[in-house]
Structure 1
């Protein structure tokens, strides 16, 4: 009795159908997430606001504009002094590399939960890459250096100097660049788990930096789970 096998054409068609199904499911999932965010369901779970964080960044720049380390310390100390926010903040300053969208920098996770994250991100030597297309609004408060960005169809760069905020709206995408040393207080609000795959993609397909992946997973996971146990989505 001869064994039967699928023809190459049938296998190829099956692969196409599976890929299309995956894309449809992904789109449906993202559409559902966007609808939930638009409904205002997440609003009551936010503990930060872009406006207050911008004011904090400006105040810290005014006090310590020539000393980035002191500037960051002022931001963290001020946040920790707020009894409504302090219980949800990291108790340890722990820096780690981050590779995403072809860009490389370092980050210090200040807060991570299902609906928000707050971190210090930057590099002392410059970088460039893809912002990613996310399920959260991202507010990049520049505290040192300059960031530029580009969108297709534009002939001029967007320029974000110290004290400005680069707001990447959820679902949008840009090319971004830091020519030299640049650091920011980065705040994202929306569905944070939807951003995780982008954050790991370069590490899984390029750098294979297992220790950094583990540190990122441990720090982010501990904060998300810890905050969830306190009732913070």
Structure 2
């Protein structure tokens, strides 16, 4: 009597599954490599799209601080009035000295101010200019804040206007201190803990691929504060400025 034999399919199924898994991860690896290659190429060309320089902006900040100080009455004024005078003077100078950029200048319009929660820090900001490769904002807090700087693909220049900012990198045992007129340059890829005292305001200039910074700016609003109204206004204002610049050819 001849014994019957039925082929086993389990091993074939297992081999197919393994091949499918290898193919899936191979495709993912290829896509990741292509993405990283694209980012490397993009970082090699973004210089051609900048219309502003940190040096020129710092000259404008310094002259604005001096002019605001000369206009300040001798008697003491409130921190809010001092910040208003400095920011107003600075924005006038930015629009006058840098006509190559498109500016939003109505900083007294509260609809264009939004809270920003990012890296555990909370402040408010007014967007002066936002394009794909550059943004300039007034950022700070009337009550003070501290948190994580984020690790970004853009260089960030914090021009202190009022108050004080402190920061340090992991491993540093002494803080960095930045006062009005100082510039805190956060190099791309560098991460720090930072703090701003009460009534601290700064002109923040970032240059690089700005859309890659947006997830960090939106994450707390989505997963922590759940403040969807503020998130909506942030997207509305940022999108308005970026699209407005794209329409005039500014990337």
> TM-score, normalized by length of structure 2?
0.78
| Structure-to-structure mapping, 1:109-124, within 5 angstroms | 109-124=127-142
Q: Contact 1:139–1:187 (CA<8 Å) still a contact in 2?
A: yes
Alignment pair present for 1:29 and 2:35:
yes
Q: Contact 1:131–1:173 (CA<8 Å) still a contact in 2?
A: yes
CA distance in 2, matches of 1:31, 1:152: 29
Q: Contact 2:155–2:206 (CA<8 Å) still a contact in 1?
A: yes
Residue 5 (structure 1) aligns with? none
Residue 120 (structure 2) aligns with? 102
Alignment pair present for 1:90 and 2:104:
yes
CA deviations over 1:120-167 (Å, ceiling 9, x no partner): 000011100000011110000001111111111111011111111110
Segments of structure 1 that go 5 or more residues without pairing to the other structure are 1-9
CA distance in 2, matches of 1:182, 1:43: 31
Change (3 A) 1:31 1:176: farther
Alignment pair present for 1:54 and 2:58:
yes
- What CA RMSD, in Å, does the superposition of the two structures yield over aligned residues? 2.2
Count of equivalent residues: 212
Which has the greater radius of gyration?
A: 2
Q: Contact 2:165–2:196 (CA<8 Å) still a contact in 1?
A: yes
CA distance in 2, matches of 1:84, 1:45: 16
SS state at 1:186 partner = strand
Q: Contact 2:166–2:196 (CA<8 Å) still a contact in 1?
A: yes
SS state at 1:42 partner = helix
Segments of structure 2 that go 5 or more residues without pairing to the other structure are 1-16, 73-81
| Structure-to-structure mapping, 1:181-200, within 5 angstroms | 181-200=199-218
Residue 218 (structure 1) aligns with? 236
